[in-house]
Chain A
């Protein structure tokens, strides 16, 4: 049973560029959430997608956007990258009606130079 898969595992981008991160949820899960984890910090909630719509959003600027596809996979897009966007981006999936803990992927390490 595949868990949550994220790609790529590492990425280096230049300031001002745009980046797309991808996430495939655990089999049977229909809800995808994205978190940003700066080095040495706790994860911070970016947004959550359910039924291909953004259901909830954290305190992140509009440069952060996302998408969920009919197969429940998801993308996180970040425009006009800043040095401060360097972080580990974690994807977590869950089944919408369940109050279980999320299943997390191993993350994408984004470095902005």
Chain B
């Protein structure tokens, strides 16, 4: 079974600085998707960035980028120029591409605080 591990329960970063959130995962599959989701106090889960495992190039979305190391099964999220609105719980997530296994498996999350 696949697992997702986020080893940092909480992190803090000064506004305008850069922060990196760590995520490792375990799978025997070769093809899959990885995601970072943001959950602010409003509760809605918002997709931040997506990475296809077959793509070697790291995904980037504006101030958000990932460092995807497939062999190491590592998928970290870098947030540049942190803003107060980035404060939220961040979940790393895995989605299989095998057969009909279509569910998303979440890590336990990292709560990110932005210090003004």
Partner of B44, one of A42, A44, A99, A104: A104
Distance of A3 from chain B, by nearest CB (Å): 8
Cβ of A66 under 8 Å from chain B: no
Cβ of A90 under 8 Å from chain B: yes
**When the two chains form their complex, are residues B44 and A107 in contact, meaning their CB atoms are under 8 A apart?**
yes
Cβ of A101 under 8 Å from chain B: yes
**When the two chains form their complex, are residues B95 and A106 in contact, meaning their CB atoms are under 8 A apart?**
no
Closest to A107 in B: B43
The contact size tier of chain A is 20 to 34
Chain B residues 46-105 with CB under 8 Å of chain A are: 46-47, 50, 52, 91, 95, 97, 100-105
Cβ of A63 under 8 Å from chain B: no
Partner of B103, one of A45, A99, A103: A45
Which residues of B line the A interface, CB within 8 A? 33, 35, 37, 42-47, 50, 52, 91, 95, 97, 100-109
Q: Which 7 A-B pairs have the closest CB atoms?
A: A104-B45, A42-B106, A45-B103, A101-B47, A106-B44, A107-B43, A101-B35
The docked-state distance in angstroms from the alpha carbon of A98 to that of B35 is: 15
The docked-state distance in angstroms from the alpha carbon of A42 to that of B101 is: 19
